[in-house]
Amino acid sequence: MNSTARRRAMDALKRQRAPAPAGPLFAVEEDDAEFEHDTLDKVSVLFPLPLPEPFDYRAATSLGIEPGMHVIAPIGSRLVRGVVWDVQRNNPAAANLKAIEEVLPGPPVPEISRIFVDWAAKYLVRPPGDLIRMVVRSPEALFPPPTYTVLAPTGETPPKLTEARTRVLEEAAKEQVNAAELSRRAETSSAVVKGLVDCGALVKLEISEDPPYPAPDLSRTGKDLSDIQLAAAEEVCASVRAGGFHVALLDGVTGSGKTEVYLEAVAEALKLEPDAQVLVLLPEIALTQAAMGRFKARFGVTPVEWHSAIPQKARRRAWREITAGRARLIVGARSALFLPYKNLKLIVIDEEHDSSYKQEEGVIYQARDLAVARAKLGECMVILASATPSLETLVNAQLGRYAHVKLAARHGVAELPDVELVDLKEAPPEKGKWLSPKLVRGAAEALLRGEQSLFYMNRRGYAPLTLCRACGHRMKSPETESWLVEHKYSGRLVCHLTGFSMPKPKACPECLTPDSFTSIGPGVERIEEEVREHFPEARIEIFSSDTTPNGDAVRDLVARMENNEIDILIGTQIVAKGHNFPNLTFVGVVDADLGLKGGDLRAGERTFQLVSQVAGRAGRHEKKGRALIQTYAPHEPVMQALAAQDRDAFFAAEIAEREAAGMPPYGRLAAVIVSAPNEQLANEASKTMGEKAPIVEGLDLWGPAPAPLSVIRGMHRRRFLIRANRGVDVSAFLAAWASRVKLHSAVRVQIDVDPYSFL
């Protein structure tokens, strides 16, 4: 192996902040003499950098470089890993180009992934290099996996079978381990183990650190399904068998058994071909962890995981096996959509309405929408599952673009909970408290019956605002207009936007008055404090990202809840997503109005979806459930629909309003955010942007205006909002607009196609 080639490859990988693993690679060693006897190819390489297009290089035709292969090539003075995007054979112009430095091993990026990158880059108005970076997330997976050595008995009897040798052979027969561990277990010296190897009684075996994943057992059957579930399962399975691009909305009330239905479709897709792959997307890492048991029960193996919390070794193994087509069932968060699948046949988007599918930083995208595009490009099926579908998905189903598969009732004897509004103007909490007497009574009655309660409050920490009583000073994150949230248990003030954290000051930094801070508004910690006052003997826990920061913590808390080790659970929106607590019968929504504030286009829709999902945690088994929703606006359409559990009427009114205004799904939205390190530069840059905007029929441009969060991390922000008719190519408009403008190097422009956040 060429040591210079290895060193150069390793240096290139390290420059991209990826560890350079051991393993063979192929050196490209060219000289002028070789050029005389070999033709040259022009090779276009796309790098995982924010570059607008692939760069061209030369390579000898005899190297056999193909699109999708991984190479190392120079950019300026650096060597950078990239993916071959195109090859033009025997191109004389290639002689004037720089040469490819190395060809890396590992499976190439499939053609469908390259097509998807090009499409997504154009749609999102992003450099394609930003998209390929999301595909090649584990560069060390290009190399053969590391191995370790173990010893195994050969069956040969050694010439001298001493007592020590006998112990070693007995231990080796139990489990294959390395020499040091074997000598430790046998309580003997390493010389005894070495002697057994030398005489042929033990053999050294090289074991891969990244073995292939066990295949799903497709002979297993799922749970018994009701007639309604069987009909739904057959409908989606028929679409899977038909092949090609299909989208189906699996629309079922909470507790109706949507998961068991789509698991039948997963099994059907895996049976199609020996290397068929299925991707199931879940909106939260916590759900990814909680769902593993259900998949293992159905298929006998744990699915391959992909999300930000998996360790590097697991990421390396997963990427290699997925790209090779050996990993067949993958469960992950939104980023799993970009993995280079070899033969993807089905994509399932569980809780498809969930806003967590929208990536708000870096490459901004909506995973649900891109999943449908990926399926269309790759001719595979998509199942969108939800009890409260997004308006976009629901309208597509109503118009016949998607199949509409309905589960109208809960599975078995379980019934939907009774839902009641609590008008806080007529039945307010005590002064300084947040729980009305009705909510307290509901939890008390559940406790007396030996049942569990849930209080839902979608605010982390103790209080969302810390205010000085003496001068009115509000504690904010430095260089940001975001208020600091008090976390009482840790004694710190935290910015949930930037991550900034500081100890709570003993005196106001503005007026220096000691002990002058007061906490305004409730968070889950403050609700817990109040619940403990009412129920001092109850077992109470908080379920939020602060108390369950990783998958293990989520699993532990969910297990305690399922085992009745918790009487009252207090949770943020994480508690609404897919959890099934058999003994939970009472749900109290502390502040249902919270999501309606801020003038968001989707505020009513999201409030209905989230509160419906929370209320749906109650009474999912034999026991009847009850949900109380506290509100100051009981006459709002969304509140009336929640009380009546009349989803269709609410969405019909919401759809009519959107259609009249030309808003999604009847129109298109996009946002452009201009950020600069000072207010004057932000104003000047946004004014320049506005003056350069193309005029397009059927497209309205609003702004610039200061963003609601006008300063984040010291950057002053101005927003444009674009509304366009359905026939207008918004992406082309944004690309043309961006190409017209040259701004100061300190100015940043962020494009958000189909925005979900308006902050």
DSSP conformation class of 301: S
Residue 75 lies in a domain: yes
User: For residue range 279-308, what is the model confidence (pLDDT) as tens digits?
Assistant: 999 987 766 666 788 899 999 999 999 988
Regarding whether 53 and 28 lie in a shared domain, the answer is yes
Domain CATH for 354:
3.40.50.300
Residue 488 lies in a domain: no
Residue 675 lies in a domain: yes
The whole-chain average pLDDT of the chain stands at 87
Boundary of a domain, candidates 106, 121, 141: 141
User: For residue range 572-589, what is the model confidence (pLDDT) as tens digits?
Assistant: 888 776 677 888 899 999
Regarding whether 736 and 696 lie in a shared domain, the answer is yes
Regarding whether 261 and 376 lie in a shared domain, the answer is yes
- pTM of the entire predicted model: 0.84
Rg (CA), the chain: 30
Residue 216 lies in a domain: no
User: For residue range 672-692, what is the model confidence (pLDDT) as tens digits?
Assistant: 999 999 999 999 999 999 999
pLDDT, residue 504, reads 86
Lowest mean pLDDT segment, chosen from 513-527, 554-568, 711-725: 513-527
Give the range of the structural domain holding residue 82, as residue numbers without chain letter.
Answer: 3-141
pLDDT, residue 615, reads 82
Residue 264 lies in a domain: yes
Regarding whether 372 and 452 lie in a shared domain, the answer is no
Boundary of a domain, candidates 656, 686, 720: 656
Regarding whether 441 and 384 lie in a shared domain, the answer is no
Regarding whether 432 and 313 lie in a shared domain, the answer is no
Does pLDDT of 22 surpass 70? no
Q: What is the mean pLDDT of residues 493-505?
A: 80
Does pLDDT of 31 surpass 90? no
pLDDT, residue 191, reads 93
User: For residue range 344-384, what is the model confidence (pLDDT) as tens digits?
Assistant: 999 999 999 998 899 988 999 999 999 999 999 999 999 99
Three-state SS sequence of 154-220: CCCCCCCCCHHHHHHHHHHHHCCECHHHHHHHHCCCHHHHHHHHHCCCEEEEEEECCCCCCCCCCCC
Lowest mean pLDDT segment, chosen from 14-23, 104-113, 317-326, 605-614: 14-23
Regarding whether 232 and 101 lie in a shared domain, the answer is no
Does pLDDT of 21 surpass 80? no
Residue 412 lies in a domain: no
Q: Where are the alpha helices (DSSP H) in 187-343?
A: 190-198, 227-242, 258-272, 285-299, 312-324
Regarding whether 585 and 438 lie in a shared domain, the answer is yes
Domain CATH for 674:
3.30.70.600
CA torsion angle for 318, 319, 322, 325 (degrees, to 10)?
-120
pLDDT, residue 414, reads 56
Quick check: helix, strand or coil at residue 59? strand
Regarding whether 691 and 602 lie in a shared domain, the answer is no
Residue 467 lies in a domain: no
Regarding whether 242 and 373 lie in a shared domain, the answer is yes
Amino acid at 695: I
> How do strand 568-571 and strand 584-589 relate by DSSP bridges?
unpaired
pLDDT, residue 33, reads 43
What angle is formed at CA 284 by the lines to CA 365 and CA 297, rounded to 5 degrees?
125
What phi and psi values does residue 39 have, to the nearest 5 degrees?
Answer: -80, 165
User: For residue range 106-149, what is the model confidence (pLDDT) as tens digits?
Assistant: 889 999 999 999 999 999 999 999 999 999 988 888 888 888 99
Regarding whether 331 and 191 lie in a shared domain, the answer is no
Look up tokens 């500081």; give the residue: 502
Residue 733 lies in a domain: yes
- How many distinct structural domains can be found in the chain? 5
- CA gap 301, 213 in Å, rounded: 9
Edge-first strand order for the sheet with 492-494 is: 485-487, 492-494, 501-503
Boundary of a domain, candidates 614, 629, 656: 656
Domain CATH for 78:
3.40.1440.60
Regarding whether 436 and 386 lie in a shared domain, the answer is no
Tokens standing for residue 709: 């969060």
